[in-house]
Every structure is written in C-alpha cells, then in structure tokens.
Amino acid sequence: MPICDLAELVSLIPDGAKIAIPPSRSGVAMAATRAIIAAGARDLHLVAIPTSGIQADILIGAGCVATMESAGVTLDEFGQAPRFVNAVKSGEIRLMDSTCPAIMSALQAGEKGIPFMPMRGLIGSDLLTFRPDYRVIENPMAEGADPIVTLPAIVPDIALFHAPMADQNGNVWIGKMRELMTMAHAAKVTLVTVEKIFDGDLMADPLRAPATIPALYITKIAKAGNGAWPLGLEGVYDIDKKGFSTYAKAAKTSDGFADYLDFGTT
C-alpha cells in the first residue's frame, strides 16, 4: 500500500539524496521537512523547482544541506532567507546558481529521459562561468554559426511535496500546481504528504483526473493535516503570516534559529 505514516515516509530519504522541492506557493511539505530535521538527515542536495523559501532555509539552518541548486531562495515579503545567506557567505553549503527557465528545462529533460536540454538566453551571462556543467555548443541543426546552451538533465533521487488529497490507490490530486507533475515524472522516488485521503478513485473523476498524478509515479503518501504550515495550500488554507513572521525574525541569528527549532516548529 502506498499510504504510510510520516516517519516511514521520511525514512526513505537517505543522507546525500538529491531532493526536488517546489516553490513556496506550490505545496511545500513542511511537516515532512520538520520530520527530516528530527531524523538528522545530512548532506542533502536540494533542487528548488525553481525557487524555494522557508523550506530550504530551515533545512540549511538545521545542518541538513550540502548543496543548494536554485534560481533563488527568499522569504518573499518577509525578507531574505537568513540561514541560506549565512551558509553561502560562510561557505557551509555549495551553491549551484541558476535561472527559473534553466531549472525547469533541465527538469523537463529528466522527465523525458533525455541527457540534456538545449536553451537560449544564457549566452553572455556570468552564469556560464560558475556553472561549468552548462555547456555552449553549436546548434547541429543550423546551417551557420548558432551557439546554444545545453543543460544537463535534472533527475532527482526524490521529489517531495504536499498536496490537498490522495486516494487509497495512490493517485494524488495537485490542482493547478503543474510543476509537481513534472517533478514526479522526473524523480526516481516521489514522496507526498496530503491533507486528506479521498474516498474514491481520483482517476475515475473526469473533473479531477487531469490534475491528478497517477499512482504509477508515486512511491509513498503520508497524511499530514496542515502539512504546509506556516505556508498556505491553495484552495485549502492561507499562509500563517504571524507564524511565518516568527520564523523570519528568529532565523536572523543562529541562537534565535536554534530556539525556533526547539520550541517553534510544532
């Protein structure tokens, strides 16, 4: 059965795993994030699809992350992501900087099972200096000179996200958060927390099926009510601005962050 408890779900995340995580607006698995920290995970490679916020920041602050691959990490209206900024400045983590289109294109290559994805728009930028894995080649389909950038496919070990619901068959309804579908297609393992278990077959409902990830792409599901808190989950609940502000203030210092981990994460 794909349904399990939260502890079993996070036990499937080994140290050093490359984990795809969604942007703050799109089903962030915060309950699972706290469980990952409690389990003492280390050396994770986070790939933000294509940006992240409090999820990456709290994992970095807790010492769980070795590499951050992202087009940006920020707490949005609440300011910079302080644990991320501190870790980059101190050299505690490896930063693989990118852009939103580059990350999404590379993830689509992983989804399609191809080794790389060509794209335009990065030539002449400093990004190519700091990302030697982004290579410039001549377009083999062009008659004349036509340089393009090739991006290596992103194939996550794990895709981790939170969704409104799943059914007993392991199908997961994501609504309009389409990047979650791409993450599940590209990843070797997909772990999902949900607000509720739907009594029925989501794939049999013509209105829900188009926004449902089939069980074929889902490894394990755990029920976690309010599982995106303090972030919101579209159509279910809004962001807890007071709770988010509490984190943003506490995380400005290492002592404040440590206190938050001890007392403010439940």
Q: Is the pLDDT of residue 4 over 60?
A: yes
DSSP assignments along 143-167, one per residue: SS--EEEEEE----SEEEEEEEEEE
pLDDT, position 266: 45
Query: From the CA atom positions of the chain, what is the Rg in Å?
Result: 19
Confidence label for 92 from pLDDT (cuts 50, 70 and 90): very high
Q: Which amino acid is at 161?
A: F
Mean pLDDT of 236-259: 96
pLDDT, position 121: 87
Residue 74 near residue 80, CB atoms below 8 Å: yes
Q: Is the pTM of this model over 0.85?
A: yes
Confidence label for 25 from pLDDT (cuts 50, 70 and 90): very high
Tens-digit pLDDT profile for residues 179-225: 999 999 999 999 999 999 999 999 999 999 999 999 999 999 999 99
Distance CA 44, CA 214 (A): 27
Domains of the chain, each with CATH number or no CATH = 3-98+155-263 (3.40.1080.10), 116-152 (no CATH)
pLDDT, position 264: 54
Distance CA 116, CA 137 (A): 12
User: Mean pLDDT for the chain?
Assistant: 96
Contacting residues for 258 by C-beta, under 8 A, at least 6 apart: none
